[in-house]
Homo-oligomer: A and B are copies of this chain.
Amino acid sequence: MILKTQKNDTIVALSTPVGVSAIAVIRLSGENCIAIIEQIWQGKKLSTQAGNTVLFGKIINENKDIIDEVVLALFKAPKSFTKQNVIEISCHGSGYIVQEIIKLCLKNGARLAEAGEFTQRAYLNGQFDLAQAEAIADLIHADSKASHQLAISQMRGGFSNKIKELRENLIKIAALLELELDFSEEDVEFANRTQLLTQVIDLQVVITNMANSFQLGNVMKNGFSVAIMGKPNAGKSTLLNALLEEDRAIVSNIAGTTRDTIEETKIINGIKFRFIDTAGLRETEDTIEKIGIERTLKKIKEAQYILYLFDMNTMTITELEEEEKNIVQPYQIPYCLVGNKIDLIDTKNVEAFEKLPNFIGISMYEPQKIQLLEDFLANYIQHISSQESQIIVNNTRHHQCLLEAADALQVVQNAINHRFATEMIASDLRQAIFHLGSIVGEVTNNDLLDFIFSKFCIGK
C-alpha cells in the first residue's frame, strides 16, 4: 500500500456519464497536468495563464491532426478542487473523441484515475474532512429532497463540526487524566471523579442519540420501506398501482394473483418510500404461491412499516381486531389498518371504524383518499424527524463508529465507578476519541480510505 498523500502524479478520467451528448468533461489533476496538456494543445500557452480561466483551443495528436475543438478550464494549485493543478476539458460528447483525448493524456504521462481519486486527493490535501468527502458521494446519489438536504448539510460540515466538538471535549478530559499520570507518584486527582462521570455520561447520551438518528438517516438516504399486507383479494396490488399511479402489479379478482413480491419507490413530500406489494396470506396448495407467501413473510419482517389492508365490506370491527392482534402485532413493526372499499359501506359503520386508532379508510376510486394515506405516511416520518436532534447520521460507517465510541464511554463509566487506575480510564477514553476521530478522518489508514473512495464514481 503506497501512501497516496504524497502522490502528485497526474490522473485523468471522464467526469461526465458515458453517452452521446453535447458536452463531455475530462478532468486531470496533478503537478504536471499543465505540461501534459500543452503537448496536445493548440491555443494560448497554458503555463502563462492565470488560474480560474477558460480557454478555447484545439486538442491535437502527435501528427497535429485535430481531435476536437474544446473549451478548457484551468485551475492552478492550490485554488482547485484537489488543491493541485487541475484542468477540465469540455469536448464534444462523442465516445470516440473522449477515448482519443484520454489516450493522448496517457501517452503524455497521465494515468487513469481510480474511482474517487480526485475527491481522495482533495481530502488528503485538506480541502475537507472524511465525513464531508463521503457526503459528496451521497450527494451524487441523492434522489429525494430529504437525502439531498442531508448530504448537503453533511458536505457543508455540520455533522463534522459536531463530531469534532465532541472529540475536543473528550480530549480535554483525557488531557486532565494524562496530567494525573504525569504526577502519578503524588497521587493527585486533577479530574474530580464525580464531575468526570457526569461529563462522560452527558457525552455518551449525545453520541448515542446521534447513533440512533441513523434509523431516520437511513430512511432519508435509502427510503422508508412499507409492506402492503393483507389477506388474498384485499386489493393490495390495486393499492400499489394507485400509489404509483401506474399499472405496475398485475391485478385480477382471482385470489393469489400476486406471487413475486414487487417493490417500487415513490417520493412523497421529498421522502423516498419503498412500497412492497406482497402475496396475500392464506393456506394454499399452489407450490409457486407457497414460495411467494414464504418470501412475503420474510419481506414483511424487514419492512419499517406495515399497511394492513382489509376489505371493510366483508369484515366486522371484532374480526379486524382479532387479525390485528394475531397477524399484525406479532411483527412488532409500526403499522396502520387500511380499510378498503370505504365507498361501499354506510356512514354509521364508517364512524365505528374511524374510532379505531391507526385506522384509515380508502377507496381505489377516490384519488383524494389515496392522497390522505400518502399524507398520513409523510406525517409519520415528519413526526419521527421532529423527535431527532438536528444532526442525522446516514452513513453505516459513521453509525458504527458512534456505537463504538458510545461503548467505549460505557467502559469509561464502569472504570470510574469501580475507581480503576487513571491509566485504564485514560486508555478507554482514548478508544472513544479514536472512534470519533475516524469518522472525520483525523485518524485513519489507507485500507479504509481505499474502501471509502472505491465506492465513488470514476472521475470524481
Contacts and interface: CB of A to CB of B under 8 A. Distances in A.
A264 interface: no
A413 to B, nearest CB: 39
B21 A97 contact: no
Interface stretch (A23-31, A198-206, A367-375): A23-31
Interface string A71-97: 101010000000000001010111111
16 contacts: A16-B17, A17-B19, A17-B93, A19-B19, A20-B457, A21-B459, A22-B458, A23-B460, A25-B25, A52-B54, A53-B54, A69-B155, A93-B140, A94-B143, A96-B145, A97-B148
A209 B131 CA distance: 65
A457 B16 CA distance: 15
B96 A142 contact: yes
Interface in A40-71: 52-55, 65-69, 71
A178 B73 CA distance: 53
A143 B24 contact: no
A91 to B, nearest CB: 10
Contacts of A145: 96
A278 interface: no
Main secondary structure of the interface of A (DSSP, over half): mixed
A68 B21 contact: no
Contacts of A88: 23, 90
A68 B25 contact: no
Contacts of A75: 54
Interface in A131-181: 136, 139-145, 147-149, 152, 155-156
A139 B97 contact: yes
A213 to B, nearest CB: 20
Given A17-B19, A54-B52, A96 B143 contact: yes
A381 to B, nearest CB: 18
Contact of A136 (B92, B136, B141, B458): B92
Identical subunits present? 2
B23 A459 contact: yes
B142 A68 contact: no
B152 A68 contact: yes
A310 interface: no
Contacts of A27: 22-23
Given A16-B23, A21-B459, A97-B148, 14 more contacts: A16-B21, A17-B21, A21-B140, A22-B27, A22-B456, A23-B25, A54-B73, A71-B73, A93-B457, A94-B140, A96-B142, A96-B147, A96-B148, A97-B139
A273 interface: no
A52 B51 CA distance: 11
A18 interface: yes
A45 to B, nearest CB: 15
A208 interface: no
Given A55-B52, A92-B139, A143-B96, A16 B20 contact: no
A430 to B, nearest CB: 35
A-B pairs, top 4 by smallest CB distance, nearest first, are: A17-B19, A22-B460, A15-B22, A16-B16
A305 interface: no
Contacts of A118: 22
Contacts of A17: 16-21, 24, 93
A94 B25 CA distance: 15
Nearest to A139: B92
A305 to B, nearest CB: 23
Contacts of A144: 96
